Amino acid sequence: MSAKKGLHLTLKIWRQKNNKSKGQFETYKISDVSTDSSFLEMLDILNENLINEGKEPIAFDHDCREGICGMCSLYINGRAHGPDTGITTCQLHMRMFKDGETIVIEPWRSAAFPVIKDLIVDRSAFDRVMAAGGFISVNTSGNTLDANAIPVPKEDADKAMDAAACIACGACVASCKNGSAMLFVGAKVSQFALLPQGRVEAKRRVLNMVKAMDEEGFGNCSNTGACEVECPKGISLENIARMNREYMAAFVDRG
């Protein structure tokens, strides 16, 4: 029985030394790629070949390789995380591509996500938005009320869990023509706004997080919907609507 034929591919990959330098696409050939391998494993093979040839490997971000951390974010053939849906780049398999295909690989494109090197971008803007209000204050005096003692309607709990599924990969920003982060911020606001533990700081939270989002240079939402389509966790646009309602209520209350 003959062995399964591997893929022969042409890769056009963005190379950039740092955020100060001018980047460009460079073309690489790779052969006999197993269709069972993941996209990142394919890049591992390419880097091994480059190292053996005495060339500098391609810098790309990754960690868990289980679709949890969101670090593997790449723009592949014009789509965030590639041609499959509901997955991160590390979950993308080479069976989604055809033999002889040319694959264009880029970093996220956003003013708020400057390139660090090659395919790696600085997503610390998300960290600063979270630091502005993506948390709850908890009394740790020893008299803390057990969270399970507070009744929460199942519908609210389910929506909160759906919002909390956001892994902050940035696909929403990369997919949006405006570079908007409102799906990300909406998810993080909703995660707490739907639960009683988050209501205490709700007004301050949404005002501070939206302010931080704007200061980081993210664009505004124009309801294109690309963010929801390309989100690997299927975060709903309903979270943006909820954030807008929370924001208006907080803004009016502030006077």
What secondary structure, in 3-state letters, does 44-75 show?
HHHHHHHHHCCCCCCCCCCCCCCCCCCCCCCE
pTM of the model: 0.92
From first to last of its 255 residues, the chain has per-residue pLDDT tens of: 445 789 999 999 999 999 999 999 999 999 999 999 999 999 999 999 999 999 999 999 999 999 999 999 999 999 999 999 999 999 999 999 999 999 999 999 999 999 999 999 999 999 999 999 999 887 777 777 676 778 899 999 999 999 999 999 999 999 999 999 999 999 999 999 999 989 999 999 999 999 999 999 999 999 999 999 999 999 999 999 999 999 999 999 886
116: phi then psi, degrees, rounded to nearest 5: -90, -50
pLDDT value of position 3: 58
* Distance from C-alpha of 77 to C-alpha of 14, rounded to nearest angstrom: 12
Give the pLDDT confidence score for residue 49 in this predicted structure.
97
Tell me if 192 sits within 8 A of 127, measured CB to CB: no
Q: Which residues contact 47 (CB under 8 A, 6 or more apart)?
A: 57, 58
Note the helical H segments in the chain: 39-52, 124-131, 154-164, 171-175, 182-193, 196-199, 202-215, 226-230, 238-254
Instruction: Answer whether 246's CB lies under 8 Å from 238's CB.
Output: no
CA dist 128 and 189 (Å) reads 14
Note every long-range contact of 157-161, with CB atoms under 8 Å and residues 24 or more positions apart, other chains counting: 157/194, 157/195, 159/190, 159/194, 159/238, 160/190, 160/191, 160/192, 160/194, 160/195
Category of 61 on φ-ψ map: left (φ > 0), alpha (ψ -120 to 50) or beta: beta
Q: Which pLDDT does position 139 carry in this prediction?
A: 74
